[in-house]
Structure 1
Amino acid sequence: MDDATARKRLKTMFAELERSIGVLRGDPVAIRERSAADAGADLTDADRNQAMLDVATLQLKAVTEALARLDEGRYGRCVDCDKPVPEGRLEARPEAARCVQCQSRLERRR
């Protein structure tokens, strides 16, 4: 993927993630009396909301780092081994920082 296409896709992703994070952090809902079941449902919704916020925040960080790599001329190179990140991987995940092998190694360590 050429740099101009990558930059456009990454900036679009960045804007969408910022909007999503804004929605997820939205204003608190007006407080009203709730039954115990409603309180439990609210906790589940809050947990789900927090999980989505965490994922969106991590992805926003990855997109920001990819844009920095573009600016530095390092986009498309694995941050661990410096080999090229396969074109197909960048098409699927423009924010990818690692080649498939290095990403697999990182995930196994977790």
Structure 2
Amino acid sequence: MEISIARSRLEEMRADLDRTVSVLMGEHHLVRGGGADPGDAGSNLTEADRNAASVQTALTQRAEVLAALARIDDGSYGRCVDCSSPVPEPRLEARPATARCVPCQAKRDRRRY
């Protein structure tokens, strides 16, 4: 993938994630604010937990995008952060923020479970 296209897509992704986090944080405040009915407390907590998980996911994705932008800046974008092999073009097109080739990502995923 051409670096200028990758940078543009990653910057778009960052902007989208920033908006998502902003919206979710606003909803988090509304949910935590509660309602007048104490019977809603359980559903509010569940909604708040779901919202917090969504915020955390968006922040994790944002960190991955920022790391990919940093790799563009230092010239290592498109190379696996583990083995330095080239990351296949179709993988970069599908996931511009990806940091690893398929075999290294598979190893990492297996270790997490």
Alignment map for 1:15-54 (pairs within 5 Å): 15-26=15-26, 28-29=29-30, 31-36=34-39, 38-54=40-56
Equivalenced residue count is 109
Structure 2 unaligned blocks of 5 or more: none
Counterparts of 1:21-100 in structure 2, within 5 Å, are 21-26=21-26, 28-29=29-30, 31-36=34-39, 38-100=40-102
RMSD across aligned positions (CA)? 1.2
Change (3 A) 1:31 1:109: closer
- CA distance, structure 2, for counterparts of residue 32 and residue 50 of structure 1: 18
Distance in 1 (CA, whole Å) between partners of 2:111 and 2:98 is: 18
For 1:89 and 1:48, the matched residues in 2 are separated by 30
Q: Distance in 1 between matches of 2:37 and 2:5?
A: 50
Question: Could you report, residue by residue, the CA deviation over 1:37-87 in whole angstroms, capped at 9, with x for unpaired residues?
Answer: x21111111111011111100000000000000001100000000000111
Greater than 4 Å deviation, 4+ residue runs: none
Aligned residue type for 1:92: A
Matched-pair contact (CA < 8 Å) for 2:34–2:41: no
Q: Percent identity?
A: 52
Structure 1: gaps (5+ residues): none
